[in-house]
Structure formats: C-alpha cells, structure tokens
Homo-oligomer: A and B are copies of this chain.
C-alpha cells in the first residue's frame, strides 16, 4: 500500500528518519560514560523500544505503571518508572511486574517508601528505588538536601527495596527557547544533583546512578559529568514545539519523523480550507501543527474534528480530497490519541505498529 492510499487521519512515522534519530542519540553520546534510557511515554510502542535497545539503550523509562506493563508485555526487560506511584492497586501491579522484569521507580515521600516495601514483600520481588529531587520542575521531588538522605536510608533499610540513586529531571527546561537558558537550567540541575550525591556519600550511601535529561537538554546533561542515564523521549519523533527551540550549530540533531496524514474535506472560502484532523487527532497543548513543506498553508485553529487552514497562496491551495502531512505541535499527547502508527519508507507502507500503551493512564 502506498502512503496516498492510507485513510485519514493517520499517525505516520517516516522510518528512515526514525531510524536516523534512534541511532543518533547514543552516537552523539558515544565519547562519554552516559547511558541512554529513552522515555517510552513518547511512543508507547514496544516495536520502537526494541529498536532503541538494539541501538544501545539500556532499557526504557515509563511514566505510568500501566505503560510499564505494556512494555514488559511487549518484551522489554528493564523499565524505570520515572515517576511517583501512589495507590495500593498500582503498587501491587508494579511489584508483580518486578517478578518478570528489572523494575525501578521514583519516590519523594516516606509513606510511599513504606507502601512500596510492603508491595514488594507481598509480591516476593525487589524494586530499585530512586529518590526524585526537585531541580526546577516544581511538580514532584524533595528539595536537594537532608530529606534525600532520610529517604535513601529508609530505602536501604527495606529488604525488598534497593537504592538506585537520584532522579533529577527538569521538565520545563526542555522547552526553554534559548540555548543559553537551557544550558543554564541543565547546569543548575546537575549541580543540585552533584551536591546531593556528595551529601549521600558523606552519609556512607553510594549513589550509583543519577538519571534525568530530555531532548532539549541532553547534550548539556551528558556533558555535565553528573548524569549517568539520559531519559530523552521526543527525539525519536520531534515536533513543532521542539522546532521552535533554538539549537546549537545548525539545528537539532534529530529530524522530524512523526506526522498526521489528513484530507482536505471542505473549502468554505478561496483562502480557507478544513481538514479532517482536529483536537481528537492532534494535541494542541503546545500550539497548532505545521503543514510539512508547505509554508504557504497555516493551520489556524483546531476544533474537535476539524482543522481550519488558511492559504497564503490561493493558486496553490489544495482541493477537496487532497491529502496533507501535518507536523504535530506536541508529539507525546498526539501519539496517545492514535491506536496505531503507520511506518512509511519512500512513500510505501512498511509496517503498522499498535500504540500498545495508548490510554495507559494508570
């Protein structure tokens, strides 16, 4: 089947650029001691996770227990849940997953450590536990300092828990536009993590791994000498929001591989058109999509099932029935709207991969 025959809206992955991106991240870190553990919350697709591991990744990150379950069911054997997991049912599932795969998780709360220890004991499993420090996201984590040592001690006292180290992830830094801003945010996060590691060492606690970083800061994070694992996820796909970041040199090292394929369904005016991909096909949390290689067309507004286009060059405007490639505003929540992704190479459909962890919100 050719791309032109694929029904719309459809999530399209250009396999050549996907593979380029998957190779590029570990290659770009090859001189260093830093490992790659890509975030599977971006793709939610074991087929892509396996390709990342084949290219050198040590495992994947997930953000939810149900997402981790989909990865373990898909054959991934080393999953870090880079988030706090709260609630008896979720802890039970997580502890049971640890009988099938190497599982790790974050904490920032003493009661949560006890609950994790109980769940792992009941499941007869061992969980590796990272203390999350708040390095600027202000959404989870304890402040760098004595509270970290307290939690690490508590983890080390728990027979079914193993202290893994620190998570120091700065989410907002990924989307700061300026290179200098991102460099500074990454450096501050790394310094907090470095000092906390020393505090732990002073207490006789070895901090084996510091994990964090993302597509916007991975180069700075890896170059800090502090981070041991990099969690970048969006790099496999990229999106219109990452394209708005300034990048060192000639631009990002990664190429756009993710698209939403859409059909023009109406031409209400000469300068306006509607496509069949709206908010239910394209998350607009980080702004509207771009039209790939068509700077003469602007996606001005998304409704639930419509996208309204403005044509700057009316003579080039597409007719009803023509198809266009959209570059999503934000890749992760856009992928989560689709049940499968269509892998295309040179205009030919080569694979259809289920988005196995689509809707895995628990």
Residues in A lying within 8 Å of B, measured CB to CB: 7-9, 41, 63-64, 83-87, 89-90, 108-109, 111-112, 134, 138-142, 171, 263-269, 272, 274, 276-277, 279-281, 283-285, 302-306, 308, 320-321, 332-333, 336-339, 358-359, 361-362
Contact = CB atoms under 8 A, between A and B. Distances in A.
Contacts of A320: 86, 109, 111-112
Given A41-B304, A320-B86, A333-B304, A362 B9 contact: yes
| Copies of this chain, count | 2
Nearest to A66: B7
* Most B-side CB within 10 Å, residue of A84, A266, A362: A266
A263 B83 CA distance: 14
Contacts of A321: 86-87, 111
* Most B-side CB within 10 Å, residue of A139, A140, A142, A302: A139
Contacts of A359: 337-339, 358
A42 to B, nearest CB: 9
A267 to B, nearest CB: 7
Nearest to A304: B332
A214 to B, nearest CB: 12
12 contacts: A7-B90, A7-B362, A8-B87, A41-B304, A108-B266, A134-B268, A140-B268, A140-B274, A276-B361, A304-B332, A337-B337, A337-B361
A277 B83 CA distance: 13
Contact of A138 (B268, B284, B361): B268
A306 B41 contact: no
Contacts of A64: 305
Contact of A86 (B265, B336, B338): B265
Interface residues of A, dominant DSSP: loop
A84 B279 CA distance: 17
B272 A138 contact: yes
A296 B178 CA distance: 36
A64 B265 CA distance: 12
B265 A140 contact: yes
A108 B8 contact: no
A305 B333 CA distance: 9
B138 A269 contact: yes
A266 B109 contact: yes
Contacts of A285: 279, 284-285, 302
A277 B336 CA distance: 14
A84 B9 contact: no
Contacts of A303: 139, 171
Contacts of A269: 138
Given A8-B362, A338-B359, 11 more contacts: A9-B361, A84-B266, A87-B263, A140-B274, A140-B306, A141-B266, A279-B333, A280-B336, A281-B361, A285-B285, A285-B302
A65 B84 CA distance: 40
Contacts of A139: 266, 268, 272, 274, 303, 306, 308
A277 to B, nearest CB: 8
A332 B112 CA distance: 34
A165 B52 CA distance: 55
Given A108-B268, A285-B302, A337-B336, A86 B362 contact: no
Given A266-B139, A280-B361, A281-B361, A7 B87 contact: yes
